[in-house]
A and B are shown apart, each in its own frame.
Chain A
């Protein structure tokens, strides 16, 4: 089993490196950070432009730039933005914001999604099943930015009808907030509810669909009937024997579902003005900043790597056949 997990890890590390290299190269080719400077009126002297070009390593070939940047990354230095601000300083704060959103969203989303899927499979063609199916169809057909905007509008109307700001949806804390430790926590929670709900909704829809079909597969199987025949209660048979088997395909799905989460996170951060990695990515591309873009790509690649590897570990834990 260790061999299997190690092989997968090496595979993921190579994929992460290739992804980062690809993003870096593409960004270097398509971005034109000097263009803004050149179009300035009156035009800056050629020496300024050359100095800037040298600062951004634009006078080197792209592979060399990548090696320079990667060499810095290994030492913990992610380079500088176009505006000459060190990236490393901002990275920690932004990664924290994103990870909090991702982890909370994915934990709640998977738990609720699996639960909903199992319930609708067990109570197939009952009202709850139809409701869950229609819910996930509608959510999966609605882009995240529409869901986020709708939730924001909903929160605003709730606030208006209550008459006080209970649900906050701009930023992740109130700027300049000062108060006791408890009050600060409440403030953060108020900011967190709506954005997290955005992530959770699409995750629930995504996982519940697959969990339902995986559970239905298991429900008709012989081993479940055997488990009940030898005297287990239906509930015990379903959860101890049925759910465990039905979770195996979910482990693979978890790795693929992560892409959905990242895109969702980008929109959520942008719409609710959280200054996380997704927001940084959009800023980086809009400012045509290669280093920011490559850093965010590396972050995403590492997230995908960890989740993919975690999925493999889960897979091995759930399916004894892998462990041999």
Chain B
């Protein structure tokens, strides 16, 4: 019995097929799988697609930049100080003659690595805490949610800044851990809410009455069913993590020299925005470009994975029926359903 149940469950969750709790089970005979549907919807959203491509390009650039340039980020060119962009130094040089292209790419690499790690760690942790609280309820739930409330009211910026002397001169992984500690709360709340509804579903109850342990139910039945939410949140968390990291590094509380991050580079450039603009505008531009892409792509993913969203289709029909008055009302309704949950964004603190 158990094996059959598990097989049925995993069949619905393998690959890109992330069933969401409100979604009806995908019909395998219909030809269009859920994964294909999601892909089609996402591809239709041109802005999100462009942003996803940009993210990939930025990651590629950040890790493969040594292939394109002869300079390294800690190497000084004593023949050129504060040279504007162009020639051998594509992004110019700073006041000690370091090549800005190499520095910006190196900074991008650090920022993106930290962002990715924090996004993954915090989302996994949120999933764990949220499901535990929602599944067990009672005192487990109350104490976990109290911690969530506490961490939400504590300004994360302040606490990490206070801890910064402790990890100065040590590995930056401590910094990653600290950032992750303050990123998971909102996702955990949403996960808890979803667990509460999932818990009452027949397949969870069936598993429970068959005597499956709680750990197995959480990992095999509840978590796979909210995979779409987790993917979206991980994406958005990467963006907020990069913002948090650069903000702290800006004051010297994050990534420490000789390492560079976009935050430290921008901080170095702020004093000379009018005299040597490339020192500020290039790293700042890369930072904004990345976070903006992540936010847009996250939004697109949400629309694509949300089964009740008709945004992908709406655009098409909207073009045909532009100017129709009745259309406006339809739009209100569809947009309403596809709207992001209010807790899902704007978390950079």
Interface residues of A (CB under 8 A from B): 15, 18-19, 22-23, 26-27, 29-32, 124-125, 137-138, 140-146, 149-150, 152-153, 156-157, 206, 209-210, 213-214, 216-217, 219-220, 249, 253, 256-257, 259-260, 262-263, 266-267, 270-271, 281-282, 285-286, 288, 293, 296-297, 300-301, 304, 308
Contacts and interface: CB of A to CB of B under 8 A. Distances in A.
A140 B155 CA distance: 18
Which residue, A152, A260, A293, has most C-beta atoms of chain B within 10 A? A260
A149 B349 contact: no
Contacts of A266: 157
Given A209-B345, A262-B155, A149 B162 contact: no
Contacts of B22: none
A30 B166 contact: yes
A216 B158 contact: no
Contacts of A260: 346, 348-349
B153 A15 contact: yes
B154 A19 contact: yes
A145 B250 contact: yes
13 contacts: A22-B154, A26-B159, A143-B243, A145-B247, A145-B266, A146-B287, A216-B336, A257-B346, A260-B346, A262-B155, A262-B157, A281-B158, A285-B161
B301 to A, nearest CB: 15
Given A142-B291, A260-B349, A285-B164, 17 more contacts: A15-B150, A18-B150, A22-B159, A124-B331, A125-B331, A137-B295, A140-B346, A141-B294, A149-B273, A153-B274, A216-B335, A220-B336, A249-B342, A266-B157, A285-B165, A286-B252, A297-B158
A88 to B, nearest CB: 21
A31 B165 contact: yes
A300 B346 contact: no
Interface string B236-262: 000100010011001111000000000
B184 interface: no
B169 to A, nearest CB: 12
B25 to A, nearest CB: 28
A308 B150 CA distance: 13
Contacts of B246: 143
Nearest to B166: A30
Closest 5 CB pairs of A and B: A30-B166, A141-B291, A259-B349, A141-B292, A153-B273
A125 B332 CA distance: 10
A209 B159 CA distance: 28
Interface string B129-157: 00000000000000000000110111111
Contacts of A257: 346
Contact of A263 (B155, B266, B329, B339): B155
Nearest to B251: A282
B276 interface: no
Interface string B272-291: 01100000100010011001
B270 interface: yes
A141 B288 contact: yes
B15 to A, nearest CB: 31
B340 interface: yes
A22 B266 CA distance: 31
B328 interface: yes
B162 A293 contact: yes
B165 A32 contact: yes
A300 B158 contact: yes
A220 B164 contact: no
Interface of B: 149-150, 152-159, 161-166, 239, 243, 246-247, 250-253, 266-267, 270, 273-274, 280, 284, 287-288, 291-292, 294-296, 318, 328-329, 331-333, 335-336, 339-340, 342, 345-346, 348-349
Contacts of B156: 259
B333 A220 contact: yes
A296 B273 CA distance: 31
A267 B154 CA distance: 18
Contacts of A22: 154, 159
Contacts of A31: 162, 165
B288 A142 contact: yes
B335 A152 contact: no
Given A15-B149, A138-B288, A145 B162 contact: no
Nearest to B246: A143
B187 to A, nearest CB: 14
Contact of B328 (A124, A206, A209): A124
B320 to A, nearest CB: 14
Given A18-B150, A209-B345, A213-B340, A220 B332 contact: yes
Contacts of A146: 266, 284, 287-288
A200 to B, nearest CB: 16
Candidate in B247, B280, B284, B346 with the most chain A CB atoms within 10 angstroms: B346
A279 to B, nearest CB: 11
A152 B272 CA distance: 11
Contacts of A282: 161, 251
Nearest to B335: A216
Contacts of B267: 145
A260 B159 CA distance: 14
Nearest to A160: B274
A138 B292 contact: yes
Interface centre among A145, A217, A260, A308 (most CB of B within 10 A): A145
A318 B204 CA distance: 38
Nearest to B314: A125
Nearest to A303: B155
Contacts of B328: 124
Most B Cβ at <10 Å: residue of A15, A30, A141, A210: A141
B56 to A, nearest CB: 18
Nearest to A210: B342
A153 B277 CA distance: 10
